[in-house]
Amino acid sequence: MSPQKILFSPVTRLSGLLSVELSLDNGIITEADVSSTMFRGFEYIMRNRHITDAVYLTQRICGICSTAHGAVASYLLDQLYDNDISENAQILRNIMFGADFLQNHIRHFYFFGLPDFVIMPNQPPFLNQNCSDCRLDDIDNRRLAGHYIDAIKAAEKSHQILALFGGKAPHQHSFVHGGVAVAPTADKINQALALIHDIRNFVQLYMMPDTELISRCYEDYFHIGETPGRFLSFGLFRFGNKNNQVLWKPGILNGCRLDQPQLDFIQEDISRAWFERSESTEQGEVRPAPRKPGAYSWTKAVLYRGQHYEGGPLARMTINGFYNGGTSTMDRIVARSLETLYITELVEEWLHELEPGEPPINQKKELVQDQALSVTDAMRGPLLHSTRLQGEQIERYDIITPTSWNFSPKDDYGNRGPAETALVGTEISAPEFKFVIPGRIIRSFDPCISCATHLFDHRTNTIDKILY
């Protein structure tokens, strides 16, 4: 077979717009260009606004993980105003954040991932499914396809918990700087407990066995879509009156070496992204350049000590010692389901720890610093917000999203990002698998391209040194 190109566009069942170009030689993927094809320029949008708007406006970056942006912006504001966060507020924030994780993971597994492995009823929106390698027997297949409907309710209930305390979803309102505006009353706690009970049942009785069955039937995917084992997490679920304790620890894992992440090792690389440095401004500001030759994505490459790193549930589970597997497509899927189960248990535990009472919020009014940086993990990987202010107006607001790590295009040296690395070397054993196999690999990262539609410019970033 002579070398051939496969244009995989659009990659469906994800948030945002993604195209992938694959080179195939003798049935093996020899090159992959992963291209995000939308740009919104959110960091330009953030400029010259009042800093407190960040907590609501940055949520509009991403509809499926909006609470992650709201959370990290709240932590950022807590620093800028030197807020003290009460214990009830810490717990409530984590309940809301956890509930949004559950919504994301359940929807990713059933709505986006399931049609990769299960034959769905041949009606809209499942027409032309082309699942040419679906291996479940009839009974199992029918059962799992039916769970799509159960997942609709379980995910909706996760957002009910978020809305009970956050007012609405996506883009919750009450998790703001200084704490949480809602009163955790007995009725709300009780209602949320009933909801988490149902969600936990769903995860235990459906999602975990379904994951197990799929991982057994598609065991070869424990060796397909592997990455080099470089994992990054900024940690997850913050406690402490200054957001200083992290429940799931941060880490940068390279092979067996686990370190604390340090911001000054993070660099961006725009060589293959549609951006250029403007010579006209003193700081060499990065500007969109949609016609730049050789570029193929709106996502920039983000590097740590010159290397690409992967984030997400597998990175978190591995760094924290909750999962001890490989780095493959199926490892990513299994780790995500495992994380879902852990979070249902945490949310239930936190609900029991809540003290009914007044809204746990205390916003200080005076800024104590004019720049800040905060991090968390979002559902799909590490998330960073940093800002520099002029008074209370935003001068710069920089964001590095998980997609910038996982869906990095190649850097200046031609090194591939994690998703590209996972694709290259994969065998496409028959023509009818040309979308099936790459689709499974790509979706295991839980891509969210809305996330990546931004700018980050490390050269003008004024915050440096160690994160922790």
- Between residue 429 and residue 448, which ones bind another protein under the rule CB under 8 A? 432, 434-435, 439, 448
- Which tokens go with 241? 């009156």
Q: Select from 56, 239, 265, 322 the one that contacts another protein (CB under 8 A).
A: 56
216 is an interface residue for another protein by CB under 8 A: no
CB of 90 to another protein, least distance (A): 16
CB of 153 to another protein, least distance (A): 7
81 is an interface residue for another protein by CB under 8 A: no
Q: Select from 7, 137, 256, 414 the one that contacts another protein (CB under 8 A).
A: 7
Distance CA(75)–CA(443), nearest Å, equals: 30
Region for residue 312 given its phi and psi (left: phi exceeds 0; alpha: psi -120 to 50; beta: otherwise)? left
10 is an interface residue for another protein by CB under 8 A: yes
- Which tokens go with 430? 């028959």
Residues within window 265-294 making contact with another protein, judged by CB under 8 A: 288, 290-291
* Count of residues touching another protein (by CB under 8 A): 94
407 is an interface residue for another protein by CB under 8 A: no
State whether residue 119 is helix, strand or coil: coil
> What single DSSP character describes residue 437?
H
Backbone angles phi, psi at 218, to 5 degrees: -115, 50
- Which tokens go with 52? 């407190």
CB of 462 to another protein, least distance (A): 22
CB of 339 to another protein, least distance (A): 19
State whether residue 326 is helix, strand or coil: coil
45 is an interface residue for another protein by CB under 8 A: yes
CB of 237 to another protein, least distance (A): 21
CB of 151 to another protein, least distance (A): 10
37 is an interface residue for another protein by CB under 8 A: yes
CB-based contacts of 335-338 (< 8 A; 24+ apart in sequence): 336/105, 336/108, 336/109, 336/312, 336/446, 337/105, 337/109, 337/203, 337/207, 337/208, 337/211, 338/313
Q: Select from 35, 227, 408, 421 the one that contacts another protein (CB under 8 A).
A: 35
CB of 297 to another protein, least distance (A): 11
The residue (of 93 and 107) whose beta carbon lies closer to another protein is 107
Pairing of strands 301-304, 393-400: unpaired
Nearest to 20 by CA among 38, 28, 32: 32
Q: Are 235 and 249 in contact (CB under 8 A)?
A: yes
44 is an interface residue for another protein by CB under 8 A: yes
27 is an interface residue for another protein by CB under 8 A: no
The residue (of 44 and 468) whose beta carbon lies closer to another protein is 44
State whether residue 232 is helix, strand or coil: strand
Residues within window 356-385 making contact with another protein, judged by CB under 8 A: 358-359, 361, 363
Distance CA(428)–CA(433), nearest Å, equals: 6
Q: Select from 182, 214, 232, 236 the one that contacts another protein (CB under 8 A).
A: 182
Residues within window 109-168 making contact with another protein, judged by CB under 8 A: 111, 115, 120, 122-133, 148-149, 152-153, 155-156, 159-160, 162-168
One character per residue 297-326, x = contact with another protein (rule: CB under 8 A): -x----------------------------
Side-chain-side CA neighbours of residue 178 (13 Å): 13
Distances in Å between the Cα of 99 and the Cα atoms of 60, 63, 86, 240, 332 are: 18, 14, 20, 20, 20
The residue (of 248 and 407) whose beta carbon lies closer to another protein is 407
